[in-house]
Amino acid sequence: MLCTNFFRRNLAFVRLAVITNLEYRLNYFIDAVLQPLMTAGIEVVLWIALFQATQSQQFAGFSRESYLSYALWSGFMARVSSNWMYEFRMIFDIESGGINTILTRPMSFFEYYLSQFLGYKGITTVISFIFPTLLSFYLDLPCQLERFPLALLLIFYYLILLFIFSFIIANLAFKLTRVGSLTIAKNFILMILSGELFPLDMLPSQLKKFMLYLPFVNGTFAPTAFLIGRTDVNQISIGFVSITIGILCLAPLAIYSWKKGLTNYVGTGA
């Protein structure tokens, strides 16, 4: 009974996220399709020009097609594996006192936003990943579609870690009130560490080795590189392990920050 209620409740949150985001279709289309498509397009144009300018067949051991495919897929992967909107919403709820409506209902703040976050990312994945798939075929770029489910599984597992991270930052709003800049800082750090800016296998070998063991590479680099054949399944296994370690480290911190935050909270916004 308890389990059924939990499942139904969270399914309702997922539906809520899908309905809310699809309500303004133009807005959603820009977010899920146009923006990543433009980003990928610009990166593709850049890599084409870079290969032309350097007049080489390979760059850091990989072919032109490999970079084009990475540029194409990483834009979409990065869009799915980032958290801006729901983190800002959580912060705003705590800052403004909007959290009161959640606290007085038989659900937790964490599950309410986690389910919405995953629902939103789920629908975004379904809609937006059609485009790089079609473009990969059209441009004949390396893409091993049979690897797609595993890459996707890794991303969604990473999303749980990312959400816990967001939850901790949002909890800081109980104490500091304004923490929006922390979200931006966190996302910039993740942008660098995840491989969104450039493929991490271009880094010097020692640094690369270190970076590939961090859980953050599972946001963009690991799934993209696996999908296009730049890495093997071994990197994915490392990814699952590193995310699990990350979750185990962050979960106690999340629980502590939530309890501490609620103790400080006076019910009228932070």
Partner 1 sequence: MSALQALRRYVLIYLSLVKASLIADMEYRSNLTIKIFTDILWYLGRLSIFEVIYQHTSSISGWQIQHMRVFLGIVFMVDALSEILFSENLEMFANKVVRGDLDLLLAKPVNSQFMVSVQKVNTSNFFSFGIGFIWFFYNFLKLPSDLNIFKSLWLILLIPNGVCIMYFYRFCLVATSLIFTRAENLQFIWYSLYRISLRPDFMFTSWFRALITTVFPLAMISSIPARIMIEPLSPTPLLGTLTMGPLLLWLSSRYWLYCLSKYSSASS
When the beta carbons of 16 and 191 are compared against partner 1, the nearer one is: 191
When the beta carbons of 153 and 197 are compared against partner 1, the nearer one is: 197
| Residue 43 lies near partner 1 (rule: CB under 8 A) | yes
Question: Alpha carbon of 177 to those of 114, 182, 223, 252, 259: distances in Å?
Answer: 21, 11, 35, 22, 16
When the beta carbons of 105 and 178 are compared against partner 1, the nearer one is: 178
When the beta carbons of 154 and 173 are compared against partner 1, the nearer one is: 173
Q: Are 127 and 32 in contact (CB under 8 A)?
A: yes
Q: How far is the CB of 133 from partner 1 (least distance, A)?
A: 20
When the beta carbons of 71 and 238 are compared against partner 1, the nearer one is: 71
Locate 56 and state its tokens: 């080489």
| Residue 221 lies near partner 1 (rule: CB under 8 A) | no
Task: Please report, as residue ranges, which positions from 109 to 168 form the binding site for partner 1 (by CB under 8 A).
Answer: none
Residue 79 exposure: Cα atoms within 13 Å on the Cβ side = 29
When the beta carbons of 204 and 267 are compared against partner 1, the nearer one is: 204
Among 103, 134, 176, 245, binds partner 1 (CB under 8 A): 176
| Residue 57 lies near partner 1 (rule: CB under 8 A) | no
- Piece of 102-110, 127-135, 138-146, 192-200 that binds partner 1 (CB under 8 A): 192-200
Q: What does the DSSP assignment read for 13-75? A: HHHHHHHHHHHSHHHHHIIIIIHHHHHHHHHHHHHHHHHHHHT-SEETTEEHHHHHHHHHHHH
Q: How far is the CB of 24 from partner 1 (least distance, A)?
A: 4
Residue type, 204: P
- Piece of 37-45, 131-139, 153-161, 245-253 that binds partner 1 (CB under 8 A): 37-45
| Residue 177 lies near partner 1 (rule: CB under 8 A) | yes
Report d(CA 182, CA 50) in Å as an integer. Answer: 34
| Residue 184 lies near partner 1 (rule: CB under 8 A) | yes
Q: Are 123 and 22 in contact (CB under 8 A)?
A: yes
> By C-alpha distance, which of 259, 258, 263 is closest to 90?
258
Crossing angle of helices 2-23 and 109-128, in 10° steps, is: 50
Q: How far is the CB of 46 from partner 1 (least distance, A)?
A: 6
When the beta carbons of 154 and 225 are compared against partner 1, the nearer one is: 225
Q: Are 200 and 212 in contact (CB under 8 A)?
A: yes
Q: Are 113 and 86 in contact (CB under 8 A)?
A: yes
| Residue 189 lies near partner 1 (rule: CB under 8 A) | yes
Q: How far is the CB of 208 from partner 1 (least distance, A)?
A: 10
Report d(CA 169, CA 21) in Å as an integer. Answer: 23
Binding footprint of partner 1 on the chain (CB under 8 A)? 24, 26-28, 30-31, 34-35, 38-39, 42-43, 45-46, 48-50, 52-54, 56, 59-60, 176-182, 184-185, 188-189, 191-192, 197-198, 202-204
